[in-house]
Each structure stands twice: as C-alpha cells, then as structure tokens.
Structure 1
C-alpha cells in the first residue's frame, strides 16, 4: 500500500530536446576523473601517487575528517594525474583507463541475512558510501550517525531529466538488493517515492515504504518528499540515495564488485545524438556529446542545478544527465518590454507563454536582466512546496543569522530546493549559492 504525496506549488519547465529512450554503450573514455569538489565538505587525503596501478574498487583517497569514508576508482588503469587548484586543493584525480576493467573482489553477501555492521563495513570498504548523502546540509553521510530514515526518489521532474525506470529496466534485481542493504543502515524505514500516474515496476519493490507523488517540479526532489513525510528537526539525520546508486550498491552485494555504471541521458536542443548512454562514473563528456562549438553550453546535470563543462572535461559523480543548450550571448533589443518576445517560457505573465501550458521551448543561458534588490512579490513562495519562508531564509543566510536560519527551516533544505527560485525571482539572485553558503556556516558553527 502506498501513501500519496500531492504537490501543488512549483513549476514544470517544458523544454525541447528530450532524449529518446534508446540505450547504447558509450565509447570507452581513455581517461576518467573523480572530482573531490563533487563531495561537499570532504577534504581528500590521497593514498596513492601518480603512476600507481589501480583496479576498479581500489581506494584512491579518503575523507580527512571521516577516515572510514573511502573514495575508490571507477575503472582500472593508471593514476595519471592529480590536478590541484588554489591552495593546492585537489580538483581532479585522473585515471588512464585500461581497455577492459579488472575489479577488486569484495565477496558476495546477502544483506537481509547479514549483520548490520557487516553491511555497513562492506559499503564503506567498496567506496559506495560516497553515494549516501545526509540531510541536513546535503553532504556525504557520517557512518557514525544513525539516521531516522532513508529516502530514495524513484522519479525525476527536472527539465529534460532522465527516466528512472528506463535507466533501471535491466537492473531491477540489483536495485531491490540495494534497498535491502539500506534497510540495515537505519533504525527507521526506507522510503521510495514514484510517480503516481505511471505504471511502474518500482512500485513492486519490497522492504520499503512506498509513496506515490503527483505535482509539478520540484515534486521529485527528495527534500520536498522528506518535508511531506518525515520532516527533519534539529539534531536529527535523514540519509538519501539516488536510484541508480542504489543499484550499484545492490550489485556490490550480488557480485562482490564495485561496478560504477552510470547511465547518462544526453538531451537539449544542441545535442546531435539525444539518447541514453551507458558508461562509467567520471567519463569524459566528449565521448558522450562529441565536439561542440563555443556557442553551446554543456551542462553536467539539468539546466536548473547542473554545472558548466567544457570540451574534454569530465561528467560529475552523481548526474544522470548531460544537457546542451545555446549560449545566451545575443542581445535582445527592448527585451524588457512585456510581450516583446514570446518564445521565452515564463512563470509570470510578462509574455504569452502562460496561454500555452503544454508548449515546449528552446532556451539559452541568458538571464534577461541584471541583479536587483530583493522585492516582496510572492514569486518564491509559489515554487517552494516546503514549510519554509524562502525569501526570509535567503535573507537570514545572507546576514549569517544562525538563530533565524534555524527557525526558518535551514535544516530541511538543500540548494536544489531553491533552483526554481533562481528561475522565477525578479531579483536575479543566485539563491542556490546563498543557501549553500548558509548551510556551510551551519556546519561550521553548529555541526
């Protein structure tokens, strides 16, 4: 039996360029990269030097402040380069891949019959702990904590996002075993959310509390689901895992190998080959999208929350989507006038897009305005379906007022929950960045 979650506030951004549901193997990249900045608040400590030989599943670095959390190689090969940025911060660990992978053997295990400590140790030893995030703060979970629940969102509502069930169609057994393993990590329940309208094999999963979700984006955001099912209070911990990462954990227990498979949907109007590609974590983006011109923005992730890439860079650790859209480097004369251009999707009624709710649009990166003062308009409240006051919380984060941040719900939110605020707000502020800085302050001052 499922529990319904109905989301009314939000906004679905309809874009052209969706990936067709065809799954193909991507060309094997010559090099792969693990990027420590993908793991917020983790300070990496290397255990290998350049030139070292690695198998898939071998430890590359660990977290300085949580030594049990290891980060392992997604492929076998030679550790080619450790790229550093300012203050010698490690930005990328690049592995020159072998033609075929060899794997470190961890041994098979049935998580249902195994001891909880053994399940946790296996996940830690293999590097799969990197897939487990903690709320509050949206950081890698601390294995010493005991979460009150674990949430898995088996759906996507972000623009051009990958279809979860299509990605997992041949990995359902591994997904179920992964859910069984997660049950051993919490004193509470494992919650799985799926789209209510769809007939989905995910609804048949065992050992989970099933939730059927309806509503516009960000209905699929795990933070929104947590807020409606089991809100986070001060001192509590909730863990989250992405669906394909659950399958990787399950495959670890089924086969004894860390098989860092990543199914990536290539989408967007500027993508020539809009399909689903099966590759490995940290693949070179050029092997998925080819060579693109400087007038095209490559985004690792969706257009609301993704990170900009350039030719030859590497996809992030988590995203199942690469989006290609035009750069917004063209000036629109009198673009500030209402109804001047009606080819831009808008939440407000400053153009006529609201008359065509099912129409899909081609978008670029143009912000259509500069940063302005914060004005009380009610726009933010319309797209944040959580029990928080978004504008007041943003102001508290900007002021660094810890007490107000706590009272306004900072423990419940993550930057992705404010992605639509970036899109709709007239002030053109970077709400996600402000929330991230506020969360970092809370980690430092409260812990």
Structure 2
C-alpha cells in the first residue's frame, strides 16, 4: 500500500475555465518550433540551417560543451528559420511539417551507460532536471535518487498521464532505476490508484503545491549540499518507456486549453512545440484584450498567437489583460467577484464555493518585502523564505546554503509571489540566485 503524505500549507486558486471532457485531435498543425530557453543549463549550438530537411528525431541542436546531449526535431519536415535575438542568441528554430519520416535512433537500454547515451542522443535527457539548480543534468551526473511526479496541482492543470500510458511509464521507471543506486520515487495524487514494481509510490493529499516535485523531495528526503537528485514528470518517463518498447520517439502531447477567456476549455492531442495559433483557433471568447500563457498562470510563459507551445508541453491558459477594467471604488470595493486570500473582500468567505475570473493585473505597487509570514502559509518547506530571498538578493552564498537554496526552484515560490502584498518578482529572484550560486561554486 502506498504511503500517504498530507500537505497542509498551500493554496488552490479557484480560477474559472476548467477543462471539460472534450478531447480533439489537432490534425491541421504544420508549424512547430524548438525554444532552447526551455532547456536551461546547456549552451546550445544549432547544427541545421534554414531549408534543411529533417526527420522526427533528427538532431537540431547540440551541447556546445561537447557532450552528446541534443535537442531533436519533433516532426518530419523542413527547417524554416533560426530566430536570433540580441548578441545572436538563439531564440527558436522553426520547422514546418512535411511527411512522417522518422530517424533511426537505435535505442539501447541494456546498461546504465547505454541508457545515458540513448537518452542524450534522442533528446529525452533535455527533458530531465536536477536539484540543485533546477537545470538539465550534466551528461555524467550521478544521482542520489530519482523523483517522478505523476500529477500537476497548478490551476486548471490537465492530467500528466492517462491510463493508456501506464505501461510505457512503468517501463520508463525501470530504465530510470538504472541511473541511480538510490530509490525511484513516484509521487501521485491521493486516491489515484497508480502502482509500480520499479518505484516507491507515495500519494500526496493537499492543496497546490503538492504536485511540485520540490515539495515531494522535501517531504521524503531533502537535498543537501553535494547531493544531486534527478527530477521529471511521469509523461517524460512514459516517453522513455515508449522509446524502449517501440523503438521510436514519442513526440505527441495532450494540451489543456484552459482559462476564463477560453471559449471551450478542452484537451487537444497534438505534437510538442506546435504553433499557438493552431491551439487557440476559434477558441477565444473575444471582446477584450487577452493574455495567452504557455503553461499555467503561476509559472507559465507569456506568448502571443505567433508563438509556440513551450516545455513541458501540456497546458495553455487564456486570461484577460485587464488593462481596460474599470471597477467601482477599486481596492475598497465590496464586490464579491473580486478574489482575495485575505479578509479584504467578501470573496474570502466564498472562495470554497465559487470560481473567479482573474485577469493579468498585479493589483498593487512594488514595495519593500514585509516580514508578515504570508509566504509561510503557502510554502510547505522547512525553510524561512523571506530570509532566503534576502540572502539571494545580497548574493551571500554562505547564508543561501544555510537557508536551503539547494532544495528549491523558482516554481516553489510561485504561490508566495501570488499572495505577496509587496508584488516582488520572487521567481525571477530565485532563478538569478541559483544561476549565481552555480556560477560561483562550480
């Protein structure tokens, strides 16, 4: 029987626009892209040129450091362009689908060394992350344990895996066990009923961020200085298993189109890196300026209709910008439609019984950090978040290490950022702190 861990601190945001049971196939998508910023920790070099023909699984980018870690094409077709930004930074490699050819990847999972080589060549290693630093692991990284999360507790999140993927996921867990001398932990939602013979299943009960892999690590065996753990979601584990069982790369994904400005919230089966315009076509309420987010509203990336679906390739959220909103009495309004986590509005007492239509407004001005304990109510770590953030801002490495920076990632500070009365970009601060620590200590 699976162990059950209850998460008491956190917050489930009652956002309107939940998924329906509708599932449709997006068969008309032809435009795709790979965005290297989705895969941090590696300096990428493009190995194709505009006009080159590629197959699904063909190498598109490689590690400048010389390791075999690669990014591969999700579709067969042609490279249409290489988008560059300032100082010729690679922003995206765009592709158009033509045909259904697949590269011969020759996967070999017979030994731990072959597992590493196969995952790195086939683009799946780039979908893995490590703690500390929340980056792609080095090609030769040694892992204390492996943590796989099988559920997403963020607002309006779709299921990470469905029952038809369980066989592939189980095979993926078997392969992942070859990468560590420790244990493989599979975190599932309470009552999910998922079992595994290759991983220790742990069920989590409670509000978001119960689905965050960092929270799951903290509840079982926190990361200490000098240790490295491998983290991934169960969909990536299923992709690994699919490659082993079928000999081909699975680049399909199930994307939830969610949010209050989605006309018909639903799930679309498509391919990773698909153009956003294909996903939201004829499915935006309209009548106001909207914000499209690739991902969830807490940690997702703002895109427009000319952009592309970003990693982890499972959700698009659509909300109003709110730049033309006009509310009577503003912050002093007693309107029950305005959400608050504090006793400022009547909605505090209604939040368990209704859904709210959020927009992109910050609803406040930037000010100094207030040590009020508001972060702690939604931060289920044995860490003092305010003091850790101050140590990061001061670039005090000793204090950062003492206060637990090796345990956290930017996504763990998404809820504190949401409830923060000071409107401080906490996730950005943590990301910069992790990058600085890695630069100074490695």
Normalising by the residue count of structure 1, what TM-score does the alignment of the two structures yield?
0.94
SS at match of 2:357: coil
Question: Which residue of 176, 188, 208 maps to 1:194?
Answer: 188
Which residue of 1 is the match for residue 128 of structure 2?
Answer: 132
SS at match of 1:117: helix
Cα 1:333/1:394, change in 2 over 3 Å: farther
**Superposition pairs of residues 378-417 of structure 1, within 5 angstroms:** 378-417=373-412
Cα 1:150/1:28, change in 2 over 3 Å: farther
**Superposition pairs of residues 231-250 of structure 1, within 5 angstroms:** 231-250=222-241
Q: What are structure 1's unaligned runs of at least 5 residues?
A: none
Structure 1: how far apart are the matches of 2:225 and 2:428?
Answer: 22
Cα shift at 1:353: 2.0
Cα 1:199/1:417, change in 2 over 3 Å: closer
Which residue of 2 is the match for residue 104 of structure 1?
Answer: 103
Residues 168, 244 of structure 1: 8 Å contact kept: no
Q: How many residues align?
A: 437
Residues 328, 364 of structure 1: 8 Å contact kept: yes
The reply to whether residue 314 of structure 1 matches residue 308 of structure 2 is: yes
SS at match of 1:124: helix
1:259-290 per-position Cα deviation (integer Å, ceiling 9, x unaligned): 21111011111112311111111001111111
**Superposition pairs of residues 24-423 of structure 1, within 5 angstroms:** 24-65=24-65, 67-98=67-98, 100-107=99-106, 111=109, 114-164=110-160, 167-196=161-190, 198-200=191-193, 203-290=194-281, 292=284, 295-329=289-323, 330-337=325-332, 340-356=334-350, 357-423=352-418
SS at match of 2:164: coil
Residues 28, 279 of structure 1: 8 Å contact kept: no
The reply to whether residue 432 of structure 1 matches residue 427 of structure 2 is: yes
Cα shift at 1:370: 1.0
Residues 334, 346 of structure 2: 8 Å contact kept: no
Cα shift at 1:419: 0.3
Structure 2: how far apart are the matches of 1:148 and 1:199?
Answer: 27
Q: What are structure 2's unaligned runs of at least 5 residues?
A: none
Cα shift at 1:108: 5.8
SS at match of 2:104: coil
Structure 1: how far apart are the matches of 2:302 and 2:313?
Answer: 12
Cα shift at 1:331: 4.1
Residues 32, 94 of structure 2: 8 Å contact kept: yes
Which residue of 1 is the match for residue 14 of structure 2?
Answer: 14
Cα 1:105/1:231, change in 2 over 3 Å: same
Residues 335, 368 of structure 1: 8 Å contact kept: no
Cα 1:315/1:381, change in 2 over 3 Å: same
Normalising by the residue count of structure 2, what TM-score does the alignment of the two structures yield?
0.96
The reply to whether residue 441 of structure 1 matches residue 432 of structure 2 is: no
Cα shift at 1:107: 3.7
Residues 13, 345 of structure 1: 8 Å contact kept: no
Cα 1:319/1:108, change in 2 over 3 Å: closer
Structure 2: how far apart are the matches of 1:414 and 1:45?
Answer: 26
Structure 1: how far apart are the matches of 2:11 and 2:66?
Answer: 38
